[in-house]
């Protein structure tokens, strides 16, 4: 695969027909483990201006993805490897839903699509999560908003404490749903 390194964690596939297999999964997992933010991606689209964005993304369990929402966009995940809980929040930061995802055969759903502007984050339940994400472009950072109720990425201690609380809330949510 012919890749252009756009940053420490972003690679762009340059071939006219993009094929991703075990070699690319291993590459993106290794890159995520070594990157400062513990995530990496191979973009199948070539430009932020493309109307469709498709990415193979690896995220290590200790990566913090600040809850955020998108305006005028949909996103979908297809899990390739690993398990994740997608936590969805209302505007005040209260947990409203948990989507349990895993690779096919895991006993969890392997696909989800978020078509509304809701705050969400990921709780990685495996060493590394590998997923195929699809969203509509073009990419514009102004079309996303970080959650004001969650700490920024540059506050790692506060982020760890926050995610521990979210993990506890997710566990309570699951127990309540099973009753």
Q: Quick one: pLDDT band at residue 38, thresholds 50, 70, 90? A: very high
Going 77 to 141 to 153 to 7, the CA torsion angle's sign is: positive
What is the end-to-end Cα distance of the chain in Å, rounded? Answer: 49
Whose tokens are 């027909």? That residue is 17
Domains annotated for the chain, with CATH where assigned, are: 3-178 (2.60.120.10)
Cα–Cα dist 165/103, whole Å: 26
Q: Which residue has the tokens 């929402």?
A: 69
The confidence score (pLDDT) of residue 3 equals: 95
pLDDT per residue as tens digits for the range 2-26: 999 999 999 999 999 999 999 999 9
Write out pLDDT tens, residues 92-148: 999 999 999 999 999 999 999 999 899 999 999 999 999 999 998 877 777 789 999
3-class DSSP state for residue 11?
A: strand
Tokens representing 173 are 């949510």
Q: Averaged over 70-81, what is the pLDDT?
A: 94
* Upper half-sphere CA count for residue 20 (Cβ side, 13 Å): 23
Q: Where are the beta strands (DSSP E) in 23-143?
A: 39-43, 52-60, 68-70, 75-81, 83-89, 95-102, 111-114, 119-124, 128-136
Question: Whole-angstrom Cα distance, residue 29 to residue 31?
Answer: 5
Q: What is the pLDDT of residues 157-175, one digit of tens each?
A: 999 999 999 999 999 998 8
């Amino acid at each position: 695969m012919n890749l252009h390194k756009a940053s420490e964690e972003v690679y762009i596939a340059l071939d006219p027909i993009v094929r991703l297999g075990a070699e690319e999964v291993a590459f993106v997992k290794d890159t995520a483990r070594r990157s400062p933010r513990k995530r990496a991606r191979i973009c199948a689209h070539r430009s932020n201006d493309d109307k469709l964005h498709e990415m193979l993304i690896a995220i290590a369990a200790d990566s913090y993805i600040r809850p955020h929402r998108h305006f005028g966009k949909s996103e979908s995940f297809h899990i390739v490897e690993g398990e994740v809980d997608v936590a969805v929040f209302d505007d005040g930061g209260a947990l409203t839903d948990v989507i349990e995802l895993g690779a096919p055969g895991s006993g969890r759903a392997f696909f989800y699509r978020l078509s509304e502007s809701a705050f969400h984050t990921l709780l990685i339940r495996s060493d590394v999560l590998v997923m195929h994400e699809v969203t509509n472009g073009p990419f514009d950072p102004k079309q996303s908003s970080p959650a004001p109720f969650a700490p920024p990425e540059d506050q790692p201690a506060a982020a760890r404490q926050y995610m521990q609380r979210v993990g506890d809330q997710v566990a309570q949510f699951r127990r309540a749903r099973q009753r």
